[in-house]
Amino acid sequence: MPREYMVYYLIYGFVFIAMGFYVLQYRNDEQVRNPSFSRALPKLGLFGIIHGTTEWMTMILITGLFPEYQMTAVIIRSFLKVISFAFFLSFGIEMYWSYSRKRIRLLIIPWTLTGIWTLGFVYSLYTEGGYQGYSQLAVLNTFLMRYGMGLSAGILCFMAFRRDATIFLKQRKNVVAQKTNLLAYALLFYGLLDGVFVRGSDFFPANVINHMLFEEVTMIPVQLAKAAAGALILLWMSQLLRAFRDETRNQVQALIKNQTVCEERRKIGMTLHDGIIQKLYASGMKLEYLRHKHADKESELILRDIKTEMNDAIEIVRKMLNEESQPLIQAGDFQSQLDHLVQKHQQTSKMNVHFHNRMPKIQMEKLTSEQTTQIYYVVQEALMNVLKHAEATMVWVSIELTLEALHVRIRDNGRGMVDKSMKTCEGKGISMMKERAEVISGKLSLKQSDAGTTVLLEVPWEG
């Protein structure tokens, strides 16, 4: 291999290592609007660091330094390379199936492929003998690492980010949608470069579509093209993360403004109750005194009308206060209120209630008081239904956030509704929960089976 390729591998490795360390700074960052993206970022970061390290190892091997350690370096580089691709494919799976229960099972695939590759690698070394045995692994490397992991990961990332961009557009998040789209194409570009244009071999399609074909057509070394793809991933990733943080900052400011408005409404309510209503009531008492002690018949009729109008005014103000001062649950108290509700049911029944809130705190604070209040009472009603009718021993309450909706799931291991009287009684509770869901533009569904009942509340989310 020409010595100038040392520079190509130096740049290639540097770009990916830099991308990896940059991405790892944002792991589990609550200001990243997409929770699944934040959860998956460590896998992309580890891919970048490990993959970049293997390219630097290739650079050192080209120099011919330390010939006595060449075989060892080749083996270590090979293992690190397949591990890096396993992380890349894991990132793709995490993103594409981010809200599916299949995700956990599918994440086994990259490491299963890594295990198969390892068995083939070790077998070849021991049966073919040393470096010559390694050279016979082109088929294994190409089909498992490049086609099976690298190309698949690029395609999965592309489809996942394109899907998310479409959702952002529907939510009128145009800047975030644009950055997401650009990142999707950058990841696909890299996936095609590293997963299609492989080292030339004597089998199809590697004997046709390979490094040499790419360089003949573009006049650019494939290593530089991969470095450019990595730089694009780093660029658009940083732009997208910045867009997430800017959006979060704006929403926090809007939340503070909303809380200020709520506080002002509360103060107005106190003023109305402690000031106006009390004065109207006192004036009414004086009118009543005048009507009975000093008024003639004509004056008495006028005073009675005034008293009636004052009573009507008091009633209107009281009704307005009742509407404005419902026991709303603020976003900051939502977690503690749900914890208290679960603890209360644990103490007053024989049920084991498990509560899992997977919604980042900063996202939870963006919920309106109307949303948190209605969600709380839906959970309360669902737990009461389980307690009264299901004869369950276990209940699971979970809150999860996707790009499009907030999902609240209450699942039990009870018997559900088994007779007509029970169905009528529980049906009223379900009806109330559906009404609460509609208030916040949500949808409530009920699923029953022999294993128990699941109540699912879906609330549109544009946080």
| 15, 131: one domain | yes
Same domain, 234 and 200: yes
54 and 187 in one domain?
yes
- In terms of domains, do 145 and 31 share one? yes
pLDDT at residue 148 is higher than 90: yes
Tell whether 424 and 286 lie within a shared domain: no
Q: Are residues 224 and 338 in the same domain?
A: no
* Residue 426 burial by Cβ neighbours in a 10 Å radius (0-12, 13-18, 19+): buried
122, 196: one domain: yes
The residue from 224, 255, 286 where one domain ends is: 255
Alpha-carbon gap, residue 34 to 360, rounded angstroms = 10
Q: Which of 224, 240, 255 is the last residue of a domain?
A: 255
Do residues 14 and 114 share a domain? yes
Cβ contact 341:379 at 8 Å = yes
Last residue of a domain, one of 272, 297, 324: 324
Residues 94 and 110 in one domain: yes
Tell me how crowded residue 226 is: count the other CB atoms within 10 A of its CB.
23
Question: Residue 24 is part of a domain; what is its CATH number?
Answer: 1.20.1070
Of 114, 107, 112, 120, nearest in space to 80 by CA: 114
Q: Which residue did the predictor score with more confidence, 272 or 329?
A: 329
Asked whether residue 133 carries a pLDDT value surpassing 50, the answer given is: no
pLDDT grade for 423, boundaries at 50, 70 and 90: very low
Statement: the pTM of the whole predicted model exceeds 0.85: no
Q: What is the pLDDT of residues 284-342, one digit of tens each?
A: 677 676 666 665 666 767 767 777 777 777 677 666 655 555 567 777 788 888 888 88
What's the token pair of residue 89? 């494919």
Handedness of CA 318, 320, 326, 332 (dihedral sign): negative
Residues 287 and 179 in one domain: no
Number of domains in the chain: 3
Do 347 and 296 lie in a common domain?
no
- For the chain, the residue count is 463
Same domain, 350 and 276: no
CATH number at residue 453: 3.30.565.10
Query: The domain containing residue 175 runs over which residues?
Result: 5-255
